[in-house]
Copies of this chain bind each other. A is one copy, B any other.
Amino acid sequence: MTTRNSSRLAPMVRKLKQHSELSPTEADALLALPNRLATIKAGAFVVREGDKAPDDCILVLSGFAYRSKTAGSGARQILSVHLRGDLVDLQNSLLDIADHNVQALTSIEMAYIQWQDILKVTTACPNIGYALWRDTMIDASMSREWLLNIGRRNARQRVSHLLCELAMRQAATTICDGTNYVLPMTQSQIGDATGLTSVHVNRIFRSMREDGLVNADRRSLIITDWPRLQQAGDFSGAYLHQGAANSFASAGAHGVSPAG
């Protein structure tokens, strides 16, 4: 009766369980949601700002996606980066008009779930609704941290902070040791995410390399000194609300690798 083990929606349930309790029945109800698979090429739009809100909601199964907005001047701001298990446009679904873009950062696989079906499940199991609502709130918490990052930290701190966040989030989703992880962003995209120019991001990377913090091999990043990177980025993972599922949300500023 359940599609529990075979469902491709498993990454979503896994992510929700990081912050919310779900009974086996509830988990099964989620895993059984009808959905269709789609593959999207790197750079392609998934949702475009100004579109009428889509009537399905989109889950990242593999690869990386990001949200962005564009200013009148044409400058782009990257708002968040999403990976396996993230529901990438709950944000847009419940509202009338999409207020931001969603784009593929790498080539990605996504599952489309009809919004109607989600409503059905949450009406039947309010607890699932709370888990999804909580997911929206964590999303908002991350925006707030980004606001602090861009508004009140200098360039080196901003870049370090972004790297820490991506390391910690990847450590929570994939089996990886957290010190050597995938960094699918170009320097220009890192600039757009941190409110800097690509030229300046490049200089920051050089200086961080010289200081032995990271070793940015193309497309993947080796964190050579996690405690110092964390310090350099004024980073504490509390805002990710990863809860007990991941051992280092509470580990504070020292001595742990993102894998705990």
Encoded as 1 (CB less than 8 Å from any B CB) or 0, chain A from 207 to 238 comes to 00000000000000000000000000010001
A144: contacting residue among B72, B100, B153, B243, CB under 8 A: B100
Known contacts A79-B148, A136-B140, A143-B147, then 4 further A-B pairs from the complex at CB < 8 Å, ordered by chain A residue = A69-B147, A94-B130, A136-B136, A146-B147
A152: contacting residue among B75, B134, B139, B140, CB under 8 A: B75
A151: contacting residue among B137, B150, B241, CB under 8 A: B150
A254 to B152 alpha-carbon distance, docked (Å):
33
Residues of B within 8 A of A140 (CB): 91, 136, 139-140, 143
Q: Which of A71-102 contact B (CB under 8 A)?
A: 71-73, 75-77, 79, 90-91, 94-97, 99-100
State how many angstroms separate the Cβ of A13 from the closest Cβ of chain B: 18
On whether the beta carbons of B95 and A134 are closer than 8 Å, the reply is yes
Say yes or no: A137-B77 contact (C-beta < 8 A), given A126-B126, A150-B150, A234-B71.
no
- Would you list 13 pairs from A and B whose C-beta atoms are within 8 A, ordered by A residue? A67-B144, A71-B234, A73-B234, A75-B153, A79-B144, A91-B141, A95-B241, A99-B141, A99-B145, A99-B239, A126-B129, A150-B195, A152-B195
Residues of B within 8 A of A76 (CB): 152
On whether the beta carbons of A96 and B144 are closer than 8 Å, the reply is no
A84 to B114 alpha-carbon distance, docked (Å):
35
Residues of B within 8 A of A137 (CB): 90-91, 94-95, 136
Interface size for A (C-beta < 8 A) is 51
State how many angstroms separate the Cβ of A168 from the closest Cβ of chain B: 15
Say yes or no: A99-B129 contact (C-beta < 8 A), given A137-B90, A137-B136.
no
A77: contacting residue among B129, B133, B152, B239, CB under 8 A: B152
On whether the beta carbons of A72 and B126 are closer than 8 Å, the reply is no
Smallest CB gap from A130: residue in B: B94
State how many angstroms separate the Cβ of A70 from the closest Cβ of chain B: 8
On whether the beta carbons of B147 and A71 are closer than 8 Å, the reply is no
A63 to B260 alpha-carbon distance, docked (Å):
44
